[in-house]
A and B are shown apart, each in its own frame.
Chain A
């Protein structure tokens, strides 16, 4: 291998994808070894900072009594969840029992009734042979059958 290792190859090497060729190159190439070394160095610092942080923040290791309290709390919490779920299920199950059949609103019924009445009046008007203003005159005329008979006589 004449050229230096790519960034990917170095990452592969760190991740554990080692091959004989990679091993040999790193053993011979000072530049690639230095790149690897600088990453290992910063990872060492990273580990140190994580250690240091945990060491500073870890207050005190709890004893069994404290853990028992936590266990109790978690059990109470899960009991509370179970109770909440049961209540919800009961409510959902009870909904159909209280549900009434859906009826159209009163205003809609009134409207359709008045529409029907209006239509009836319009139909009655249309079925008349003369307009309403001429109705008194029409009543004065004899029935149509009489007129027909008179004509035949003449």
Chain B
């Protein structure tokens, strides 16, 4: 037997199973960008975000048969993404030797340059953006997740509750705390 025959066999089996899931390629194509954006905004590390997004789709693929269709595919994928991000932060807390430096909030703030605004206004906006990114960085994981789902993914509160597996009341509480913390920081820069 060849040394890598087992792994080849495994990949072939997975490929065969992939054919059994209808249009999973299309699911990946359709939702990749959104899941990646949420994961990237959460972990702030491009390489980690890419790996975690792949993990998320792998998990979705493996659990495809268990998807009952109670929610949309998008909500289901975001639910998996939220869990993947939560596990990432949990593991990172334990694996202190693997902690990679995440991107600085000031770098993200510089990404957006609105050409319609004057340089002075742009500078003010950049400063405010940096503060919002910096404020979200130090939020507890649940508060940050709610904040990102609400304001980056523009989800409704009921949808966030479904994605996170908590009640709508809890979503409001987490969102209120997150907004208050971010506004405190934002208010200081005004």
Q: Closest B-chain residue to A51, C-beta based?
A: B37
Complex Cα–Cα for A12 and B173 (A): 9
A97 at the interface (CB under 8 A from B): no
Contacts of A87 in B (CB 8 A): none
Chain A nearest Cβ from B148, distance in angstroms: 8
Complex Cα–Cα for A56 and B172 (A): 32
Number of B residues contacting the other chain (C-beta, 8 Å)?
50
Complex Cα–Cα for A63 and B154 (A): 27
Contact yes or no, B176 A50, CB < 8 A: no
Q: Closest B-chain residue to A10, C-beta based?
A: B183
Contacts of A116 in B (CB 8 A): none
Contact yes or no, A56 B111, CB < 8 A: yes
Number of A residues contacting the other chain (C-beta, 8 Å)?
43
Interface 1/0s, chain A 1-44, versus B by CB < 8 A? 00000011011101111000000000000000000001100110
Complex Cα–Cα for A53 and B107 (A): 10
Contacts of A76 in B (CB 8 A): 7
Contact residue among A39, A58, A64 (Cβ-Cβ distance under 8 Å from B186): A39
Contact yes or no, A46 B133, CB < 8 A: yes
Given known A11-B176, A16-B175, A75-B10, contact A63–B25 (CB-CB < 8 A):
yes
Contacts of A51 in B (CB 8 A): 37, 152
Stretch from A66-74, A105-113, A125-133, A137-145 contacting the other chain: A66-74
B40 at the interface (CB under 8 A from A): yes
Contacts of A48 in B (CB 8 A): 112
Contact yes or no, A62 B28, CB < 8 A: yes
Q: Which 3 A-B pairs have the closest CB atoms?
A: A54-B37, A15-B176, A11-B180
